[in-house]
Structures are given as structure tokens and as C-alpha cells.
Structure 1
Amino acid sequence: MITINKSAVESYLEQNNESDPVCAYVYDLDHLKDHAQHLKESLPNFCELYYAVKANPAVQLLETLEPIVDGFEVASIGEINKVDELSEKPMLFGGPGKKDHEMIEAMQRNVDYINVESVHELNRMAYLADQAQVKIPILLRVNLSTNVSDSHIRMSGVPTQFGIDERDIRDVIDKALKYEQIEIKGFHFHAMSNNLDVDAHLRFVEMAIEKALTWRKHYDLEAPIIDIGGGIGINYWDTSDPFDWDALAEGLSAFEAKYIDETITLFLEIGRYMTAGCGSYVSEVLDVKTNHGEHFAVLRGGSHHLRLPAAWKMSHPFRIHSVEDWHYPFERPGILNSEVTVAGELCTPNDVLVRKEFVDQLRAGDIMVFEYAGAYGWTISHHDFLSHPHPEQVFVANNVVHKV
């Protein structure tokens, strides 16, 4: 279960002396460290924990995670560069649109595994590896024929741009085995995003293991790696009912015992579930108003900083930090015991972070703290629309506040 440590945000607000309205991402590095250590320690020995850098590539988070995780899942040369500067741990290079120069640099950087997403990508890898006279260790990414969950986003079991259609996988294995420069190290099954159903996740893992073992046996492959991806979710809609990580770990331990004679290693690529809970987006309320009978709060900030709630058409989890000071000589706008829609400073009605949620009190000058914002927050957002100033990036460790 992910918990929220409120002290990092409070430490930042207590030490903030800027006159401009508050707007910041605040990351609790102590919380991240403790959470990552729990994830790692709870896993059985046949699992390796990789951090999916796409969730949040901030160097301070990577540095915190580096001593804990077994490796990093990267999806671009930019992410490879960030990891390469601070760690010698394994990297797994995935993504459906790898460029030639990225694959060449991945070979030169000794990236440990590269996902193959299609026949054309396999052909390109083999061609480039032959020119460089190196051998590429690959994982074949499979788009399963069966949907495996009702997660928010599905990448397998449905038509997507990801992976090789399961019906074609034997032909691709045949082709890969003909290339001297290609070494099949295993199979990759990342199939979902933000899944909240632990039982469905365990059924998916067992399916992935069984299919990988079938192909290994048929082709007499060693291929010890079975990458089950990530996709473990945050329940933004009801934070009191989180994904049951400990039940997942128990189920994986049962699989370790069941497949003890098979010499397999499960890779988990955890991104959102790793970092979401360590980050908060903090934004000051500029105005509270009523239009056509509905209440609205307007923030110094919005979806150009935190895109997720607008993209998913949801209310992001939040709490209100009340500020009693009011420096204007006129009345302070606010509401009591009412529903409010929280919008940002952009000139578009789509700039909404909270939709008609009840609050006891909300006033101009109060601070809204949007929790579980440590993953897929700042880096997926359209920062420069309207050219507003960017939020501060704040990292807190041992109650010491460091602004970037």
C-alpha cells in the first residue's frame, strides 16, 4: 500500500518566502526510498525490479532509486543518457519507435537488453549489429491474443502499436534464430497500464510464464527472462482502496515455488507505482467564483503542469492546505460546504484538475496539494502553452528543502 507523507509539502511551505503565488512540484525522497525498499524486499528471489524511467526521469529520483533497484527500463536515448551518467546497472531498452542511431548507441553503451517490437525492427537490429560486429541480446515483445485485464490502458490482447502479434511469434523466432548477431534472451509481455486488480495481474503473469516456457521448449532456447512489464496502478478515484502489492508479492512467491525447476527470471518494470506517492503538485488558489450556479476555483497552475486529470477526465486526489493570511483590503472570495470544480490558468475549458468535488472550505489564497503526482506529471504535460512560468521543482530529504 502506498502512503502519503505530508511533512515534505509542509516543510516546503514553511520555508517558502516567495511573494509570487505558490506553484511547485514537491518530491519526498525519504518516502521514495522507503517505498522502493519495501517493493524490492517483498519480491521473491527469482524477480528483478527495474524502474521504468518514463514515469519520472528526474535525476534526484534516479539517484535515490539507483542503490535499490536491479536495473532501469529506458525508452529513448535521452533516458539512456540519464541512467548512464549515474549507474552501471543493467538497462532494458524498449519502445515501438527506435531509431537507428538509438540502437547503435545502445550497442555502444552496452545496454543489456533491447526489446524487439516487430519483424522490421528485428531486421534493422540484425543489420546494424552485423555492421558493428556485435551481438544484440533481445527480448521479443509479445502482443497476446487474449485481453488480460480491465486496466485503464491496454497494450496487449487488443490491436495496438506495441509488440508482435502472438499469432506471428513463432515465425519471428524462426527468423531471429537465423541471425548470428541476435541472441534471444527471453520474452516481454507488458500488457496494461494502471491495473488495479491483483488477481487479474497474477493470472496475466502465469499466462506469460506458460507461454514463454512453451516457446522455450519448442525451440530449445535458454531464454531465461520473462519480462512481465509494469502496469500496476494508482487508484486515483478512491485512494482508500489501493492496489494490493503484498498480495501480488505473495502470488509471485507461489509462482517461484511452482516453477522452481524452470530456471526463469521475472523482470518487473515498475514506474507509476514506484514514484507516484512521493510527489505532490502544489498550487495556490487565485480566485473562487460562481458561474451559472456552479462554483469554480482558479489555480496558479493547471493541466500544463499536471496533465493527467485532464487527459483521463478525472478528479485528481487532493487536499487543502488552509492559509489564514489575507493581505488585500477587500473581501476574500471562498465557499463553504459545497462542490467545486478546480481549473487552471489556461484559456481553455479543458484545463480542469478537479470536477465537482465536495469541500468544507476553499478560499482564494489557500493551497491545493494534488497527491500521487510523482509519476506521469510534469514530464508528460504541455509546459509552454500560454508561456506561463514553470513550477518550482522541490526535493525534500530529512526535512531539508532543495529547490531546482
Structure 2
Amino acid sequence: MAEATAAAPDLASALIAENFSRDPAGLLQIGGLSLTALAERHGTPLFVYDADLLRRAYRALRAAVAGFAEVDYSVKANPNPAVIRVFHEEGAGAEIASGAEFDAAVRAGVPPQRILFAGPGKSAADLDRVIGGGIGEIHLENREELLRVATAAERHGTTVRVALRINPGATAQGGAMRMGGKPSPFGFDEEELSEAVAAVEGQPRLHLVGLHLFAGTQGLKAETLIGQWAYGLALAAQIARQTGRPLETIDLGGGLGIPYFSGDATLDLDALRAGLPPLVETVRNDPRLAGARVVLEPGRYLAGPAGIYLARVLAVKHSRGSRFVITDGGMHHHLAASGNLGQIVKRDFPVVAVRQGEGASPCTVSGPLCTPLDVLARAAPLPELAEGDLVAVLQSGAYGLTASPTGFLSHPTPAEVLVDGDGAVVIRARGA
């Protein structure tokens, strides 16, 4: 993906108009609460999430795919139990990628049988943890893991429900990052699907109930997602033919994207809904699939737009014709915004001043760390700023704090606050 040179002000303005607000003095608000007041109360840097926006995203997606799929939440996007709880209260199960995420989901109230465990390197300790805790399903990604799960199941004297994660062929690709169609640590290659099914079927402590397909992520085009899901249904039918029994679960992954940069389009849920009837017919007309629970498990799409990363200006420096806004926030808390998390999302995220001002011009927003990598934005169009002002990084509800190198240079971790109704509660204390 080509690196964006700036987060256009029209994207930031559109996001503010859609998700947030400004008070009569031009100060940015979240859920009707002042970000300035939240910063004074909880310190900066600070992550703030709006529970109503989390609910709104979940309900909109659930309505768009109603009659085809259920919607679970991918905990890796934001594993704070308070965030997981919001989605669980809306009806979501959880997809996890570690034993600690299993614990977080259970603390949030998710029943273990509504939890799916994916990931290419599940340890024996984590498998013991989740099998002993009654997890609903484990998604197998390689032969060694298959044997580890069978061994753990024998140790616990139980039969474990499993699905096969398949690394699909090139025809199933799409999104900003391909997750299949090439050599990959994720899942069994499609070419070895039959051998993988036979290997699972040969283990008496494993009960093969489903398929997991995750072809790509940060997908913003409905037609791409529909194509991936259709491919997944075909693979699911292939597994059912080989086992001779209907599937119970068809996990079509997440991969739904959100706009970060100028030119990014918001995923069109109406177009997504319009593309579903052929998929619904495929499931309905195939007795091997008709009874299966089809599930989507997005994370970024559900949590990303609800979050703001708030940082305070420490200094404004002019160097050889360039303006640098130096803040107390940086890549140690928000690696994705710095562009260093991976190839899915580079920079610039939409960054705005909390206090509305005139005469915006491009500037570099950098953090307090002694590395040139600590840059939150390279060309953010911001008004004149001074020490003490606040800047807000939008689209920060997913892959923020827990996806970042928080130990680098030993700065304290920021607090996380959840705004719900007319109040705000600390869901992670500063320094915790």
C-alpha cells in the first residue's frame, strides 16, 4: 500500500461530524463530554472510547448481514474487558488469540462456549488453559498444533470442537493486506485441505465442526468481501463432503476496514447487504451447510472509529522551514499511528486540534521518544498550536495501546477511559 502523505482535513471533518462534536467554543467532544475536561481529570496521553459508537458499529453491521451471518468480536483489536463487555452485551461472542485474551473475554462475561481460539502458534500452556476453561472451538493452523490440541484433550479427558483454518488460493484475495494466497504461517494451505481433514478425523479426541477463512484485512470494498465469503462457503462444502456430515461453524473471518487516509472510502453496508442473497441461497440450498452458524469476527471495524488518542503539546519547533509539534504521546502508545505497526496502515491517521482554530497548515506531529520513528503524523493540517494545547488522533479504538511497545523508554502507560451515557469511567488506570 502506498504511503499517504497527509490525512486530508475533509476526512477528519467527516469523522468528527459523524462520530463526535464540538461545543460552542470549538472544543472537541466525545459522547457529549469535553475532551479537555477528560484530559484535565485523567492526564495525558489518554485513550478515550465511546460506548455508544461501539454499539452503533455493531448494530449496523449485524443488521447488514442479518439472515446470513452472526457477528462476533475479535478481541485482539482492543482486549480491554470493558470494551469486550459492550459487544458481548450486544450479543457478540469473542474470537481470541491467546490464553490471556480468553481470560479477558471470560472476565467480560462471554461464556466460554461462545469463544473461538485462532492463531498460528498456540502454546501447550494456553491450550490447557482454554480447554480446561471449556472453550467453544479451537481453530487448527498446522499439524504440530493439531497434535498439541489432541494431547491436551486427552489430558483433560474431553473431546474438543475444532475447525480448520485454511490459507486460500490466490482467487480469494483482497484488502490492504493479504492473509492468504501466498506462503503463510497462517492455516493449512488450501492444496492440503484433504490431508488436513483426514488428520483431524484420525484423532478421536478432536471433533471437526468447521472452517476458518481469513483472506485479507482492511477491506473497504463490499464486492471483495462478498467474493471472499463465497470462496469460504465453497471450501466449507468441500470439508463437509469429505467428513460426510454437515458443518456446524463457518468462520469467514473479519477483515472489514475503516477509512484512515484521504481517498479511503467507508465500507458501504448497503452494497454489502445487496451482495448477500446469492450467499444466503448457497447456504440454504446445501444440506451440508444449512445448519451451520456462519460467523464474522471483525475487530477494527467495530472498535476503531469509537476511539481517540489524546496528547498534549509540549513544544512547537520550527526547523529549517518545517513546523514540528512535539507531544507527550507517541509510538510507544500508538504504534499504528506512527506507521510502524505493519503494512496495513501507514500514515497519516486523521489528527485534529482539540481547540478549533484557523489557518491550518501541514506540520509534523512527533512524540517524546529519542528515535526518529516516533512520529504520529508527517503532514497533519493543524492550526497554530502552543505548549499545553491538545491534539487528538482519530480512528484509535483498535490496535492502540496493546499493539504498541509500551516499555520503550519506560514512560508510564496512559489511562483508558470509556464514555457511556453522560459519564466516563477509567477502564485502565494510568501506569497499569
TM normalised by structure 1 equals 0.91
Q: Secondary structure at the match of 1:349?
A: coil
Using the TM superposition, give the Cα deviation of residue 104 of structure 1 relative to its aligned residue in structure 2, in angstroms. Answer: 1.9
Deviations 1:235-260 (CA, angstroms, capped at 9, x unpaired): 21137721223322332344113431
Question: Which residue of the partner structure matches residue 356 of structure 1?
Answer: 379
Mapped contact 1:198–1:247 kept (Cα < 8 A) = yes
2:294 pairs with 1:266: yes
The alpha-carbon distance between structure 1 residues 147 and 305, as it changes in their structure 2 partners (threshold 3 A), is: farther
Question: Which residue of the partner structure matches residue 209 of structure 1?
Answer: 233
* AA aligned opposite 1:45: G
2:152 pairs with 1:137: no
Greater shift after overlay, 58-67 or 335-344?
A: 335-344
The alpha-carbon distance between structure 1 residues 103 and 10, as it changes in their structure 2 partners (threshold 3 A), is: same
The alpha-carbon distance between structure 1 residues 358 and 15, as it changes in their structure 2 partners (threshold 3 A), is: closer
Match of 1:95 among 115, 119, 134: 119
2:251 pairs with 1:227: yes
Mapped contact 2:174–2:225 kept (Cα < 8 A) = no
2:330 pairs with 1:302: yes
Measured in 2, the distance between the counterparts of 1:246 and 1:356 equals: 33
Mapped contact 2:309–2:393 kept (Cα < 8 A) = yes
Measured in 1, the distance between the counterparts of 2:39 and 2:139 equals: 48
Mapped contact 1:107–1:136 kept (Cα < 8 A) = yes
Using the TM superposition, give the Cα deviation of residue 29 of structure 1 relative to its aligned residue in structure 2, in angstroms. Answer: 1.0
Unaligned runs of 5+ in 1: 325-334
* AA aligned opposite 1:75: A
Measured in 2, the distance between the counterparts of 1:345 and 1:376 equals: 20
Question: Which residue of the partner structure matches residue 341 of structure 1?
Answer: 364
TM normalised by structure 2 equals 0.85
Measured in 2, the distance between the counterparts of 1:24 and 1:253 equals: 43
Using the TM superposition, give the Cα deviation of residue 147 of structure 1 relative to its aligned residue in structure 2, in angstroms. Answer: 5.1
Q: Percent identity of the aligned residues?
A: 28
Using the TM superposition, give the Cα deviation of residue 211 of structure 1 relative to its aligned residue in structure 2, in angstroms. Answer: 2.0
Mapped contact 1:40–1:68 kept (Cα < 8 A) = no
Match of 1:5 among 6, 16, 20: 20
Measured in 2, the distance between the counterparts of 1:87 and 1:337 equals: 45
Match of 1:315 among 344, 348, 351: 348
Q: Secondary structure at the match of 2:172?
A: coil
Measured in 2, the distance between the counterparts of 1:206 and 1:319 equals: 40
Mapped contact 2:194–2:242 kept (Cα < 8 A) = no
Measured in 1, the distance between the counterparts of 2:171 and 2:144 equals: 25
Match of 2:203 among 169, 176, 179: 179
The alpha-carbon distance between structure 1 residues 303 and 342, as it changes in their structure 2 partners (threshold 3 A), is: same
Measured in 2, the distance between the counterparts of 1:363 and 1:266 equals: 52
Match of 2:178 among 149, 154, 158: 154
The alpha-carbon distance between structure 1 residues 55 and 21, as it changes in their structure 2 partners (threshold 3 A), is: closer
2:275 pairs with 1:248: no
Match of 1:391 among 414, 421, 427: 414
* AA aligned opposite 1:366: D
Greater shift after overlay, 373-382 or 144-153?
A: 144-153
Measured in 2, the distance between the counterparts of 1:114 and 1:19 equals: 42
Deviations 1:75-134 (CA, angstroms, capped at 9, x unpaired): 111111111222226100111111112212222211111000011111222222223321
Mapped contact 2:77–2:398 kept (Cα < 8 A) = yes
Deviations 1:144-163 (CA, angstroms, capped at 9, x unpaired): 12153342222211111100
Using the TM superposition, give the Cα deviation of residue 398 of structure 1 relative to its aligned residue in structure 2, in angstroms. Answer: 1.3
Match of 2:89 among 62, 67, 80: 67
* AA aligned opposite 2:355: S
Question: Which residue of the partner structure matches residue 283 of structure 1?
Answer: 311
Tell me how large the CA RMSD over aligned residues is. 2.3
1:107-146 superposed matches below 5 A: 107-146=131-170
The alpha-carbon distance between structure 1 residues 282 and 155, as it changes in their structure 2 partners (threshold 3 A), is: same
Measured in 1, the distance between the counterparts of 2:39 and 2:227 equals: 52
Measured in 1, the distance between the counterparts of 2:270 and 2:264 equals: 16
Using the TM superposition, give the Cα deviation of residue 304 of structure 1 relative to its aligned residue in structure 2, in angstroms. Answer: 0.8
The alpha-carbon distance between structure 1 residues 21 and 133, as it changes in their structure 2 partners (threshold 3 A), is: closer
* AA aligned opposite 2:144: H
* AA aligned opposite 1:320: A
2:53 pairs with 1:31: yes
* AA aligned opposite 2:275: G
Greater shift after overlay, 40-49 or 88-97?
A: 40-49
Using the TM superposition, give the Cα deviation of residue 318 of structure 1 relative to its aligned residue in structure 2, in angstroms. Answer: 1.7
* AA aligned opposite 1:393: E
Unaligned runs of 5+ in 2: 1-13, 22-28
Measured in 2, the distance between the counterparts of 1:70 and 1:234 equals: 20
Measured in 2, the distance between the counterparts of 1:109 and 1:209 equals: 30
Q: Secondary structure at the match of 1:270?
A: coil
Question: Which residue of the partner structure matches residue 332 of structure 1?
Answer: none
Mapped contact 1:233–1:273 kept (Cα < 8 A) = yes
Measured in 2, the distance between the counterparts of 1:194 and 1:358 equals: 25
Measured in 1, the distance between the counterparts of 2:320 and 2:176 equals: 33
Deviations 1:353-393 (CA, angstroms, capped at 9, x unpaired): 11123334333332111111000011111112222232222
Deviations 1:153-207 (CA, angstroms, capped at 9, x unpaired): 2221111110001111101111211211111101111121212222111111111
